Amino acid sequence: MLEYFKSNLKIARDFKEILEIDLQDLKRERPNIIESWKYYQEFIRICEELDREQVS
């Protein structure tokens, strides 16, 4: 799944927006749970890298 997002920036961004909305309460109340999600953290890192590449 992460490899797919690496090559499909639009879909990765759309998915990230959905997750931001759906996870906002959990992020506020229990950020330690979100921080423990290894693949979610990797997904966020991939999105940030893709955004940086898009800007340069």
User: What's the per-residue H, E or C state across 2-54?
Assistant: HHHHHHCHHHHHHHHHHHHHHCHHHHHHCHHHHHCCHHHHHHHHHHHHHHHHH
pLDDT score of 54: 80
Amino acid in the structure at residue 54: Q
pLDDT score of 26: 97
pLDDT score of 55: 77
**Mean pLDDT per 10-residue interval, the chain, length 56 residues:** 93 96 98 97 94 80
Which tokens go with 51? 């955004």
